[in-house]
Amino acid sequence: MKVAIIGAGLSGLSCAHELEKHGVIPIIYEKNDYIGEMHSHVGGDLRIVHRPIKDSIAYYKKLGICVKPLNTLNRIIHYSPNKRTVIEGDLGYFQKRGKEKDSIKNQVYDQLKYTKVRFNELADYEKLSRKYDYVVVANGNGNFTEELGCWQDWVDTHVKGAIVLGDFDPNTLIVWINKDYCKNGYVYLTPFNERRASLVAIVTDVTEKGIEWLWQDFLYAENINYTIVEEFKLRHKTGYVYPHKIGNLYFVGTVAGGIDPFLGFGQMNAITTGVMAGRSIVYGKDYEKLIKNLVKSNLYMYEFRKAFNRLNNKDYDRLITTIGLPGIKQLFYDTSFNVGKYGGEILKIINKKNI
Ligand SMILES: Cc1cc2nc3c(=O)[nH]c(=O)nc-3n(C[C@H](O)[C@H](O)[C@H](O)COP(=O)(O)OP(=O)(O)OC[C@H]3O[C@@H](n4cnc5c(N)ncnc54)[C@H](O)[C@@H]3O)c2cc1C
């Protein structure tokens, strides 16, 4: 069986891994000359977001993919304009992103035994679909699915990031929400170690130039004076996709609408859709059925997004205070209560009333 994969990102590499496991050796076309991201940063798997999955690392292992996290995530400090809440516990993991050997993509890449990656090849799904039995489209954006009429825009953001030097706790995530400088998005700080961290602003409804002003506003408002040693900018779009397979084309990762429209998490969905596409190719199983929970969970996240968009800075203060209340904190963080699912169901009703 001849399989081509477009993109050596998390979803494409995970798909190759699953195919190899079943004796199918794909070819990956990668437009860059390296594996990973151009700019280093630290991402995360937040336990509260992935429920009912309890532990992302154990879950990846169950899919056959071994990933060593950069650190465990044991504390989240949330800031709204006038409030601060600290949550502590077993909250998830930090993952390194970038070109380094220990970045999550390179860890998955290292587990491939036979798959060849053709670097510096900008692939086109139309040409490949004539040449191969299956083409897994894993190129990390919605361009191809949009062209094919399966993509519907959800959230369009610009991302401004920096590598900063200072004093950090390697197990702590800091999050700021404030309409004045990130609109409906947020800013977060994730540490590489005690001395180095990534500081990232994800801003909605803004232009590429506009985000520079808001970034300055953020630094000023929050009195951030870390030493900035590197900066980067990206565009980040999420969308709803249907169907996830057309003819011999499989859509995985971001291409398949894998990034959640509320917080922008997509690593777990990238790995899951990659593995499930592999299984569907090998066993002829229905891909839609294999990924239906993931699609549902992003629909719930979209209800969170719609509700969040309606909040103002006063509401942010109330929200941050509320998640710090003992009963709520316990329910959300110390139990296996599926916040995404039940919160999503409730918000769906509220959002309908607010149309
Ligand atoms: C700044 C930032 C922070 C993030 N933080 C988190 C986080 O903390 N937690 C989380 O869960 N998710 C996070 N995400 C989302 C996560 O990175 C994505 O969900 C995930 O990487 C998507 O994987 P993918 O395989 O779909 O695409 P990618 O990993 O983007 O891979 C796509 C690959 O395809 C290649 N490519 C593109 N076009 C072509 C072409 N035509 N031909 C050949 N190759 C091509 C690209 O070069 C790239 O290697 C973050 C994203 C960003 C931008």
What separation in Å is there between the alpha carbon of 11 and the centre of ligand 1?
8
Nearest atom, ligand 1, residue 13 CA: 25
Q: Is 214 within a domain?
A: yes
| Residues 143-148, mean pLDDT to the nearest whole number | 96
Phi and psi torsions of 331, nearest 5°: -60, -45
Sheet containing 71-79: give its strands across. Answer: 41-46, 84-97, 71-79, 172-176, 186-191, 196-204, 151-165, 227-241
Question: What is the reported pTM?
Answer: 0.96
Q: Is 167 within a domain?
A: yes
If you take atom 10 of ligand 1, which residue's CA is the nearest one? 265
Residue 294, domain extent? 3-303
Peptide linkage before 52 cis (omega within 30 of 0): yes
Buried b (16+ CB within 10 A) or exposed e, 53-75: beebbebbeebebebebbbebbe
Give the C-alpha separation, 156 to 144, whole Å: 17
Q: Is 81 within a domain?
A: yes
pLDDT at 343: 83
Q: Is 35 within a domain?
A: yes
If you take atom 4 of ligand 1, which residue's CA is the nearest one? 43
Helix residue spans in 92-177 (DSSP H): 104-110, 125-131, 143-147
If you take atom 26 of ligand 1, which residue's CA is the nearest one? 253
If you take atom 19 of ligand 1, which residue's CA is the nearest one? 266
Give the C-alpha separation, 47 to 53, whole Å: 8
What separation in Å is there between the alpha carbon of 77 and the centre of ligand 1?
26
Task: Residue 90: count other Cβ atoms within 10 Å of its Cβ.
Answer: 12
Tens digits of residue pLDDT in 28-60: 999 999 999 999 999 999 998 888 898 999 999
Q: Is the CB of 291 under 6 A from ligand 1?
A: no
pLDDT at 355: 66
pLDDT band for position 331 (50/70/90)? confident
Q: Is 311 within a domain?
A: no
Q: Is 206 within a domain?
A: yes
| Residues 285-302, mean pLDDT to the nearest whole number | 96
Give the C-alpha separation, 86 to 91, whole Å: 12
* 78-82, 187-191, 342-346, range with the lowest pLDDT: 342-346
Lookup: tokens for 3: 């399989």
pLDDT at 354: 75
Mutation to probe ligand 1, out of 27, 29, 31, 93 (largest number of atoms < 8 A from CB): 31
pLDDT at 348: 85
Helix residue spans in 242-283 (DSSP H): 267-283
Arithmetic mean of pLDDT over the chain: 95
**Residue 120 amino acid letter:** N
Work out the burial of residue 262: count CB atoms within 10 Å of its CB; fewer than 13 is exposed, 13-18 middle, 19 or more buried: buried
| Residues 138-161, mean pLDDT to the nearest whole number | 96
Give the C-alpha separation, 318 to 309, whole Å: 15
Q: Residue 250: beta bridge partners?
A: 136, 245
Q: Is 189 within a domain?
A: yes
Sheet containing 116-118: give its strands across. Answer: 116-118, 27-29, 3-6, 134-137, 249-251, 245-246
Assess contact for 52 and 336: CB atoms under 8 A: yes
* Domain at 262, CATH number: 3.50.50.60
**H and E: helices and strands count for the chain:** 14, 14
Among 179, 182, 177, CA closest to 211: 182
Q: Residue 84: beta bridge partners?
A: 79
Q: Residue 233: beta bridge partners?
A: 160
Higher pLDDT, 20 or 341: 20
pLDDT band for position 16 (50/70/90)? very high
What separation in Å is there between the alpha carbon of 318 and the centre of ligand 1?
34
Give the C-alpha separation, 267 to 13, whole Å: 12
pLDDT at 332: 81
Q: Is 31 within a domain?
A: yes
**Close Cβ partners of 49 (under 8 Å, ≥ 6 residues apart):** 260, 263, 265, 340
pLDDT at 225: 95
Give the C-alpha separation, 195 to 190, whole Å: 11
Give the C-alpha separation, 267 to 330, whole Å: 26
Quote the number of domains for the chain. Answer: 1
Tens digits of residue pLDDT in 313-322: 999 999 999 9
Tens digits of residue pLDDT in 192-227: 999 999 999 999 989 999 999 999 999 999 999 999
Among 58, 255, 95, 258, CA closest to 170: 95
Q: Is the CB of 267 under 6 A from ligand 1?
A: yes
Tens digits of residue pLDDT in 294-330: 999 999 999 999 999 999 999 999 999 999 998 888 8
